[in-house]
Amino acid sequence: MAYSYKYPRPALTTDCVVFGLDDTDLKILLIQRDQPPFAGEWALPGGFVQMEESLETAARRELEEETGLNKLFLEQLYTFGEPGRDPRDRVVTVAYYALVNLQEHAIQAATDARAAQWFPVAELPALAFDHDRIIHTALKRLQGKVRYEPIGFELLPTKFTLSQLQKLYEKILAQPLDKRNFRKKILSMNLLIDLGELQQDVAHRAARLYQFDPQKYQTLKQQGFNFEI
Amino acid sequence: MAYSYKYPRPALTTDCVVFGLDDTDLKILLIQRDQPPFAGEWALPGGFVQMEESLETAARRELEEETGLNKLFLEQLYTFGEPGRDPRDRVVTVAYYALVNLQEHAIQAATDARAAQWFPVAELPALAFDHDRIIHTALKRLQGKVRYEPIGFELLPTKFTLSQLQKLYEKILAQPLDKRNFRKKILSMNLLIDLGELQQDVAHRAARLYQFDPQKYQTLKQQGFNFEI
DNA sequence: TCAAAAGTGTTGATATTACACCCATGC
DNA sequence: GCATGGGTGTAATATCAACACTTTTGA
Cβ–Cβ gap A92/B1 under 8 Å: no
Angle value at C-alpha B194, between B190 and B195, nearest 5 degrees: 150
- Say how far residue B144 (Cα) sits from the centre of its chain: 13
pLDDT tens digits along B116-150: 999 999 999 999 999 999 999 999 999 999 999 99
Q: Which residue of B has its CA nearest to A79?
A: B79
Alpha carbon of residue B158 to chain centroid: 16
Q: Does B21 have pLDDT greater than 90? A: yes
Per-residue pLDDT at A2: 44
Inspect the interface and report whether the beta carbons of B12 and A8 lie closer than 8 Å: no
Q: Which secondary structure element, helix H or strand E, spans residue B222, and what is its range?
A: helix B214-222
Which phi-psi region, left, alpha or beta, contains residue B190 (left: φ > 0; alpha: ψ -120 to 50)?
left
- Mean of the pLDDT values across residues B154-174? 97
* Domain B156-222 is found in CATH 1.10.10.10: yes
The answer to whether strand C lies under 7 Å from the CB of residue B224 is no
In CATH terms, is domain A11-141 a member of 3.50.50.60? no
Contact across the interface for B55 and A81, Cβ inside 8 Å: yes
Q: Do B51 and A10 touch (CB under 8 A)?
A: yes
Higher pLDDT, A126 or B5: A126
H or E stretch at A195? strand A192-198
DSSP A152: G
B181 touches strand C (CB under 7 A): yes
Asked if B200 CB < 7 A from strand D, the reply is no
B145 exposed, middle or buried (CB, 10 Å; 0-12, 13-18, 19+)?
A: middle
CA-to-CA distance for B186 and B192, rounded, in angstroms? 8
Tell which residue, B205, B27, B31, B9, has the closest CA to residue B129.
B31
Q: CA torsion, points B173, B152, B107, B68, in degrees to nearest 10?
A: -130
**Looking at the C1' of nucleotide D2, which residue has the nearest alpha carbon?**
B204
- Residue A209's nearest CA partner among A162, A147, A151, A152 is A162
B52: distance to nearest CA of chain A, Å? 6
Mean pLDDT of chain B: 94
In chain B, where the domains are located: 11-141, 156-222
Best residue of B12, B78, B80 to probe chain A, by most A CBs closer than 10 Å: B12
Report how far residue A150's alpha carbon sits from residue A5's, in angstroms, rounded to the nearest whole number: 42
Write down the pLDDT at residue A174: 95
* Per-residue CB contacts under 7 A with strand D, chain B residues 158-187: 161-163, 179-181, 183-184
CB-contacted nucleotides of strand D (7 Å): 3-10, 16-20, 23-27
Closest Cβ–Cβ partner in B7, B9, B54 for A82: B54
pLDDT band at B112; cut points 50, 70, 90: low
Alpha carbon distance A62, A46 (integer Å): 5
* Nucleotide at minimal C1' distance from the A200 CA: D25
- Reading phi first (left if > 0) and then psi (alpha if -120 to 50, else beta), residue A196 is in left
Q: Out of B1, B2, B89, whose CB is closest to A3?
A: B89
Single-letter amino acid, residue A86: D
Residues A61-83: tens digit of each pLDDT: 999 999 999 999 999 999 999 99
**Which residues have C-beta within 8 Å of that of residue B79, sequence separation ≥ 6?**
A55, A76, A79, A94, B92, B93, B94, B95
Beta pairing partners, B47? B14
Q: Calculate how close chain A gets to B146, using CA atoms only, in Å.
A: 15
In whole angstroms, give the CA distance from residue B158 to residue B94. 30
Give residue B24's pLDDT band: very low, low, confident or very high (50, 70, 90): confident
What's phi and psi for B96, nearest 5 deg?
-120, 165
Instruction: Compute the distance between CA of residue B77 and CA of residue A60 in angstroms, rounded to an integer.
Output: 21
Does the pLDDT at position B170 exceed 80? yes
Sorted by sequence, the CB contacts under 8 Å of residue B108 that are 6+ apart come out as: B67, B68
Q: pLDDT exceeding 90 applies to what percent of chain A?
A: 88
Q: Report CB contact under 8 Å: B9, A5.
A: no
Cβ neighbours of B67 (radius 10 Å) = 25
Instruction: Say whether the CB atom of A203 is under 7 angstroms from strand D.
Output: yes
Residues 6+ apart with CB under 8 A from B165: B152, B153, B156, B186, B210
Q: Minimal Cα distance from A85: which residue of B?
A: B54
- Cβ contact (<8 Å) for A83 and B7? no
CA distance B77 to chain A (A): 8
Task: Indicate if the pLDDT at residue B8 is higher than 80.
Answer: yes
- Please name the amino acid found at residue A1: M
What digits encode the pLDDT tens for the residues A207-227? 999 999 999 999 999 999 999
Inter-chain touch A54–B7, beta carbons under 8 Å:
no
State residue A25's pLDDT score: 92
Q: Which residues of chain A have pLDDT under 70?
A: 1-5, 109-113
CA nearest neighbour of B114 among B55, B12, B56, B41: B41
What span, in angstroms and rounded, lies between the C-alpha atoms of B20 and B116?
13
* Contact between A9 and B4 using a beta-carbon 8 Å cutoff: no
Helices in A111-178 by DSSP H: which ranges?
131-146, 162-173
Contacts of A184 (CB under 8 A, 6+ apart): none
> pLDDT of A26-37, one tens digit each?
999 999 998 889
Position A90 scores a pLDDT of 97
Beta-carbon contacts of B46 under 8 Å, excluding residues fewer than 6 positions away, are B13, B14, B15, B16, B59, B62, B93
> Closest residue by Cα to the C1' atom of nucleotide D23?
A205
Which nucleotide lies at the shortest CA–C1' distance from A210?
C6
Length of chain B, please? 229
B12 with A9: Cβ contact below 8 A: yes
For chain B, list residues whose CB is within 8 angstroms of any CB belonging to chain A.
1-5, 7-12, 48-55, 76, 78-79, 81-83, 88-92, 94
Burial bucket for residue B60 (CB in 10 Å: 0-12, 13-18, 19+): buried
**Residue A151 near residue A80, CB atoms below 8 Å:** no
**DSSP classification of residue B106:** P
Give mean pLDDT, residues B33-62. Answer: 96
Measured CA B84 to C1' C16 distance, in angstroms:
49
Q: Could you check whether the bond before residue A37 is cis, i.e. omega within 30 degrees of 0?
A: yes
* Residue type present at position B72: L
pLDDT tier for residue B105 given thresholds of 50, 70 and 90: confident
Indicate the pLDDT class of residue B4, thresholds 50, 70 and 90.
Answer: low
Mutate to test the interface with B, among A3, A51, A90 (most CBs of B within 10 A): A90
